[in-house]
């Protein structure tokens, strides 16, 4: 199979592959990285010269690999930051709701009833964080 890309489409593909590889590997130690994702990123980068965008991911002969330039990474950083921010608030609301329901220890007649209660509590946290951010969040220390 052969897929043809315009230069613009290739740049979009490169962006998406970079963002996907970053998502998959950025939080991992080097020896825990997904080597298949690394290899696929390198494969996609290997066509950069053909599309005239080798300035985004130049090839380092010493390291035998393509590396994104700082400028390229900075251009994509707002996408990562926006995603991180959204995930943070979603996860915080979700985990606090799960914690509260676990503390409550109540059993529900049906799975639907349990999910409705979870969504209710999660929604309360979402509203609170949307209105006040972290300003009302406090950690209590147990003696």
Cα dihedral value 20, 17, 73, 24, nearest 10: 20
Identify whether residues 61 and 84 lie together within a single domain: no
Identify whether residues 58 and 11 lie together within a single domain: yes
121 C-beta neighbours (distance < 10 Å), count: 19
Give the contacts of 60 (CB within 8 A, at least 6 positions apart).
66, 67
pLDDT (0 to 100) of residue 88: 97
- Look at residue 10 and give its three-state secondary structure: helix
Full residue range of the structural domain in which residue 40 is found: 7-68
Q: How far apart are the first and last CA of the chain?
A: 65
Is residue 61 assigned to a domain? yes
Q: Structural domain tally of the chain?
A: 2
pLDDT (0 to 100) of residue 142: 83
Give the contacts of 116 (CB within 8 A, at least 6 positions apart).
none
Identify whether residues 115 and 93 lie together within a single domain: yes
The one-digit pLDDT tens for each residue of the chain (143 residues) are 999 999 999 999 999 999 999 999 999 998 999 999 999 999 999 999 999 999 999 999 999 999 999 999 999 999 999 999 999 999 999 999 999 999 999 999 999 999 999 999 999 999 999 999 999 999 988 87
Identify whether residues 29 and 62 lie together within a single domain: yes
- Which of 68, 88, 106 represents a domain boundary (last residue)? 68
Identify whether residues 26 and 49 lie together within a single domain: yes
pLDDT (0 to 100) of residue 47: 97
Give the contacts of 91 (CB within 8 A, at least 6 positions apart).
none
Is residue 82 assigned to a domain? yes
Is residue 139 assigned to a domain? no
Is residue 25 assigned to a domain? yes
Handedness of CA 36, 41, 46, 47 (dihedral sign): positive
């Amino acid at each position: 199979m052969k897929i043809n890309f315009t230069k613009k489409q290739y740049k979009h593909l490169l962006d998406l592959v970079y963002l996907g590889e970053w998502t998959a590997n950025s939080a991992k130690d080097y020896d825990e990285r997904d080597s298949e994702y690394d290899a696929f990123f390198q494969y996609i980068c290997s066509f950069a010269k053909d599309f005239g965008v080798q300035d985004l991911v130049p090839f380092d002969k010493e390291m035998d690999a393509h590396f994104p330039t700082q400028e390229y990474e900075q251009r994509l950083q707002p996408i990562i930051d926006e995603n991180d921010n959204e995930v943070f608030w979603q996860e915080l609301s979700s985990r606090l709701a799960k914690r509260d329901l676990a503390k409550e220890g109540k059993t529900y007649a049906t799975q639907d009833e349990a999910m409705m209660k979870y969504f209710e509590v999660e929604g309360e946290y979402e509203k609170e964080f949307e209105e006040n951010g972290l300003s009302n969040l406090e950690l209590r220390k147990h003696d």
